[in-house]
Every structure is written in structure tokens, then in C-alpha cells.
Amino acid sequence: MNSIGRYAVVGNPIEHSLSPTIQRAFADQFGKELDYTAQLVALDDFEQWATSFFSSGGVGLNVTLPFKSRAFDLANSSSQRAAISGTANFLKLTDPEIILADNTDGAGLVRDIQINLKSKLAGTQILVLGAGGAVKGVLPSLMTEMPEAIFIANRTSKRAKSLAQGLSGKKIKVAGGGLEDIPLGPWDVIINGSSAGLFGEMPALPNGLLLGRESLCYDMAYGKEPTVFMGWAIKRGASNVVDGLGMLVEQAAESYSLWFGSDPDSQIVIENLRGLTSF
Ligand code: NDP
């Protein structure tokens, strides 16, 4: 096996991260041995830790909660999609002096929806719940797929409004507001990008919200059991209800491809993770 440098996922907390398993599985597909670890970094230590990682032989980082905005700020070069969102889940040392920031979450979500789930985004009405780091990261990629309209709804309405204002374009209608402001629909796609489910809660959606017969209800959160949002959607008769494990693996595949120039087989990794008894 060939060694290909030092990589890590950094966050706080980090112990449940699947990224090391996923990235090592990708490397294995190409006969490579990947030095990829999960690194817990203290909340006030991210910049110092990342700078020292890159100055001591580190090549690439995935970045997760709560450091995605700070990762973007730390870099001195960025992709357009990272710049639009102001967040990065990917850093790469491209030159001794250059740290490139990118955000692969949106590409991962779009690929999971369109390729793996064979659902369409073009011409659809999309309702996005939440206005935190994950939602900021995926909106540029969702907009690239040319939906007809996106409504961003958040518990704290001003966050959704300001996010929508920053993205408003002529071709795609983007609006934002509180959960109580959500138009009843029918919605073709509902993406839950809120972290309510992590606390066993469901965003307080208006009664009478309408789903189309083919509507996709997608929770960015994932786990062994169906999430609270998935339960909500199933109760309302939605047939196309999924969690975000596919997005997780696809954003990792995009990272792998950006680091090494090879596209791993993500399907087999998704299937293997679904087969694990716990994660
Ligand atoms: P943030 O902490 O940045 O944002 C959390 C969001 O959830 C905010 O908009 C917050 O609203 C909202 N929220 C929290 N609790 C509630 C509640 N009880 N009711 C309604 N809204 C609530 O988190 P992230 O954006 O980083 O992550 C969001 C979710 O996406 C998590 O579940 C995370 O696991 C998942 N994720 C999945 C990925 C994948 O690859 N599958 C990648 C990244 C994230 P407010 O502004 O009012 O506080």
C-alpha cells in the first residue's frame, strides 16, 4: 500500500464521527493507506491547531461543528461555493503558503438526492428548515440545480430572512422567514437542516403543510433509527423519506476526489454503513 500524507476530521465533539471509516474505505478502493484521524480540538484552539497541522506535514482537513465558519476564515483561498456560504468543511494545503477552503456538503446533498435517490430538484418548490451552518453550506449547490423556488424557514426568523436576502436572484425565488411563515405548499422537497432532532424535537411546522404525492422529505441528520422528522413525514403519508447518511458519504467522496483526483465508489460505502449495528 502507498502512504499519501496526513489527513483528519476536526470538530468538537468528534468521537462519533464516521469520517475516518469512510475516508479509509475510499482509500482502500485504490490500494492506498490513508493516515486519517478524528481530532477533538478545544473551542478556542481551532486556528492554532489547524495552522500547526498544516505546518507540520498535514495535507487535508475535513471540518465539522462548530468550526466551519472559522475554517473558511482561516483559509487564504476558496472555492466560489464556499465563498457564497462563508463556511468550509474542507481544507487543503495546495502550496506551502496556500490553504484552500471548499464546502462539499451541498454537492454531497445534491448528488444523494439526484443520483442515489433519483429525485429531481430542477423546477421544484423546496422548503428548507434551519438556517445554521449546514443550511448555509448547501444552499449554493441547491440553487445551481435551478429549483423554481426555495423557502428557508428557521426558528429564529431573522437568520432565515438574512440568508434568503443574500441569495436572492432573478431566476430562482428565494424567501425566508419563521416556521410560522411557511406557505402551506404543496412542497416537492422538504429538507430538514435544523438540529431539532438531535434534541428529540421537531421544528414547529404549521398545521396543514402540504406534501405532493411524490414529495421528497430529506433529513440531513442520520442515525440507526428513523429521525423525528422522518417519523413526522411518514405519518403524513410521504413515501419518499430519507436520512442524511447518503449526504455524509457523498460529501466525503467529493472531499476525497478533491484531495486525490479519483472518484471513489460511494454506494458500497453507504450500503456497508447501513449494515452496521450502530453508528
Ligand atoms: P447549527 O447549530 O449551525 O444550526 C442548527 C439549526 O437548527 C438552527 O437553524 C437552529 O435554529 C435550528 N434548531 C435547533 N433546535 C431547533 C428546534 N428545537 N426547533 C427548530 N429549529 C431548531 O447546526 P448545523 O447547521 O451544523 O447542523 C444541522 C443539522 O444538519 C444537524 O442535525 C447535523 O447533524 C446535520 N448535518 C448533516 C450533515 C450530513 O452530511 N448529513 C452535514 C452537516 C450537518 P436557531 O437559528 O433558531 O437556533
* Shortest-distance atom of ligand 1 to CA 130: 9
- pTM for this predicted structure: 0.95
- Say if ligand 1 is within 6 A of residue 244 CB: yes
**C-alpha distance from residue 265 to each of 3, 97, 257, 260 (Å):** 20, 32, 11, 14
Which residue of the set 68, 92, 136, 161 is catalytic? Answer: 68
> What is the chain's pLDDT, residue by residue, as a tens digit (279 residues)?
455 689 999 999 999 999 999 999 999 999 999 999 999 999 999 999 999 999 999 999 999 999 999 999 999 999 999 999 999 999 999 998 899 999 999 999 999 999 999 999 999 999 999 999 999 999 999 999 999 999 999 999 999 999 999 887 778 999 999 999 999 989 999 999 999 998 999 999 999 999 987 899 999 999 989 999 999 999 998 989 999 999 999 999 999 999 999 999 999 999 999 987 556
CA of 54 to the centre of ligand 1 (A): 29
DSSP letter, residue 179: G
Residue 190: predicted pLDDT: 98
CA of 68 to the centre of ligand 1 (A): 13
Task: Check: CB of residue 60 under 8 Å from CB of residue 78.
Answer: no
Is 68 annotated as catalytic? Answer: yes
* Helix (H) / strand (E) containing 140: helix 133-144
pLDDT digits (tens, 9 = 90+) for 148-179: 999 999 999 999 999 999 887 778 999 999 99
- Say if ligand 1 is within 6 A of residue 201 CB: yes
- Say if ligand 1 is within 6 A of residue 194 CB: yes
Instruction: Label each residue of 186-232 as H, E or C.
Output: CEEEEEECCCHHHHCCCCCCCCCCCEEEEEEEEECCCCCCCCHHHHH
